[in-house]
Structure formats: structure tokens, C-alpha cells
Structure 1
Amino acid sequence: MQVYASQWEGDPARLPLTEGVMLRWFRPEDLDRLRMLPSTRDLVRTHAADRAAVPSRTVRHGAGAVPHIVGAHLYLEDPAGRVLLGLRHHNSAFAPNTWHFLAGHCEQESAVLCLVREAEEEAGLCIDPRDVEFVHVLHQLPGPGRRPRLQLVFRARAWTGVPQVREPDKCLAWQWWDPDALPERVVPYTREAIAHVRAKRPYSEAGWE
């Protein structure tokens, strides 16, 4: 098998496809959350390690700037004030067997449209973008060498549908929780975000110390 390397800064969403259904950019450290052949994952990581010491000929985003990953999270309350959380699959690369917001990474779309799409895909909930309001952002550095993340949290004032498991390979259950009695296993930044939303604090940081 021969692998060829090149550089390109175009938009893969604009390419006409003759094979497959989608092209997207991913960083090597994001591969664990993708369903792919282990041999392909190992090949990409090996190549990325070999290229790490090769200086790029292209300067992007200004000196020292790092592109951020943007996540959209749904803070949904029922009439009793309980918050909707999902139990992540035990084989999940991120936070297995842990409760988390309904959430997803923004693709070629706005954060609100990402939230609306994920709500329908993951839980069968229909949300009108006009019923979505921003409530909190967590500027997060997950760990050394990891890409920073902007975790955007939105509240939906209205929706239709009953939460149901639509992606059983990712989420095992949806449940409403009293914010004062959350389960023990909750993603740490989810717990923090819930507290900030209830206190009406629009911004917080984590991992930058």
C-alpha cells in the first residue's frame, strides 16, 4: 500500500463526489470518535507522527493561533425543572458510561443549526431555531497537546417529541434529572455548565491553569 501526502486548504463539502457520501477534515487526535477500520486509524497516526517534525510551508490563522473545536450542547428543562441528560455508550471513546448533554460538534453549519440537527438525530426532538437561546459558553483546554474547545450551551424554550434513543451505538438512555441531585457519573464540564446556567453566568473557563 502506498500513501501520498499533499497540502490543500479547500472546502471538502464543495467537492463533487463519485464515491462515498461525505468528506470532512479531521485531526489525528479526533479519530477515536469516528467509526473506521483500525488499520486506517493506525496508518493516519503513523503518518501524522512522521510529519510532525516537518515545518509547514503555510502560516494559518496568524502566528501561534490554534483552531478551536466548537461543540453545541442542549440544556433542556421539563416543566418540573429537571434537565435532560443522555447515558453515553460503554464503548464510547469519550466519557463511557457517563451522563452528558445532548451535544455534537459543529460541521459546515451554525451552532444553532448543529443543535437542532443533533436533537433530531440523537433523540427525535424537533426544535425550531427561533426557540433556541444561548445560555453559557465554556472555554476548555481538555489537556496538554489537545485542541482547545468552545463548548456552547443553548436552552430550547419549546420543542416537540419525547426523548428516544435514536443512536444506540452512542447513547443508551435519556433521562430527566433534578439539577440538585445529578447522578454521580456526569461529564465534569456538563456538571459545571449546569451550575453556571442556573446561576446565569454566561462564561467560564476550564483547564487553562
Structure 2
Amino acid sequence: MLLRGDTLLLARRDGTGYGDGLWHLPSGHLEADEPATMGAAREAAEELGVTIDPADLTFAHVMHRAPDRVGLFFTTERWTGEPYNAEPHKCSEVAWWPVDALPADMVDYPAAAIANILERIPFAQHHWSTSP
């Protein structure tokens, strides 16, 4: 999560076949033998054209999504460059949103993760029938 004061940056997915038209946090998958913070910094560079020092990332949340995904969420208020839509083939736009007025049309799990992060809840299970 790139944070600028009380706002965070979201990207509207497009042309990917998953969540197209919905807002999402910039994100991605780790490459082989890649530490999580380096992967987060790499994804930010690929998607937003910014440079983030992995040491400037703060762990904020982990989400175990049914049936087989684990998402790690980091925050930062430090980066080099102005974020822009660096992957127009996967994203139609990027925009800053107030953390207390996020769009209703978001992919469900990042919306839940953001709510947990704001409440300082470090762990959640998502879409498990046995979740509390």
C-alpha cells in the first residue's frame, strides 16, 4: 500500500480476466527465490513506475485466502518517482483514495485487508467457511 497522508493508491484492473473493472491494490506474485519485500518493491516498479527501497516497507497484514492463497500486505510512505499506470494492458487507471472513503467497486479481499490494516488486525482468513 502506497500511502500519502490519509490517502492510498489503488489501480482499476482491466484486461486480465480477474476483477476487471474493479479497484485493487497494486500487487503481484513472487518470483522464484525472491524475498517478499523485494517482490513488493519490484511489483511497485512494474505497475506504478516507482522505486521503493525494501527497507522502507512495513509489514501490515497477512491474509489466508481460501483455498490456496496467502497474501502479504506492506505499507510505505516513501518511494522515488510519481506513481503512474505503468501497465496499461492490465490496468485502466490509478487514483488516490481517502482511506475512509474507498470505492465500493473493489476486489473483495484487498478491501477486507485494508479494513483489517486500518484496525491494526495483523491476520485474517478470507472465504473460509470456518473463519470466525
TM range (shorter): over 0.9
Residue of structure 1 equivalent to 2:4 = 78
How many percent of aligned residue pairs carry the same amino acid?
38
Q: Secondary structure at the match of 1:104?
A: coil
Q: Which amino acid aligns with 1:194?
A: I
Query: Is 1:197–2:117 an aligned residue pair?
Result: yes
Q: Secondary structure at the match of 1:172?
A: strand
User: Bigger relative contact order, structure 1 or 2, given CA contacts below 8 A and separation 6+?
Assistant: 2
Residue of structure 2 equivalent to 1:130 = 55
Q: Which amino acid aligns with 1:197?
A: I
User: 5 Å matches for 1:115-154?
Assistant: 115-141=40-66, 147-154=67-74
Unpaired segments of 5 or more residues in structure 1?
1-74, 142-146
The C-alpha deviation readout for 1:126-160, integer Å capped at 9, x for no partner, is: 1001101110011001xxxxx51001100113111
Residue of structure 2 equivalent to 1:111 = 36
- 2-side partners of 1:84 and 1:167: how far apart? 15
Structure 1 residue 77, shift from structure 2 partner: 1.0
Greater C-alpha radius of gyration = 1
The C-alpha deviation readout for 1:61-105, integer Å capped at 9, x for no partner, is: xxxxxxxxxxxxxx11112x111100111x221100000000001
- 2-side partners of 1:123 and 1:168: how far apart? 10
Q: Secondary structure at the match of 2:3?
A: coil
The C-alpha deviation readout for 1:33-88, integer Å capped at 9, x for no partner, is: xxxxxxxxxxxxxxxxxxxxxxxxxxxxxxxxxxxxxxxxxx11112x11110011
* TM-score normalized with structure 1 length: 0.59
Query: Is 1:92–2:12 an aligned residue pair?
Result: no
Residue of structure 2 equivalent to 1:186 = 106
Residue of structure 2 equivalent to 1:8 = none
- 2-side partners of 1:130 and 1:107: how far apart? 19
More strand by share: 2
Residue of structure 1 equivalent to 2:89 = 169
- 1-side partners of 2:77 and 2:11: how far apart? 19
Q: Secondary structure at the match of 1:157?
A: coil
- 1-side partners of 2:98 and 2:64: how far apart? 25
Structure 1 residue 184, shift from structure 2 partner: 1.8
Residue of structure 2 equivalent to 1:25 = none
Q: Which amino acid aligns with 2:53?
A: D
Count of aligned pairs between the two proteins: 128
- 2-side partners of 1:152 and 1:94: how far apart? 19
Q: Secondary structure at the match of 2:113?
A: helix
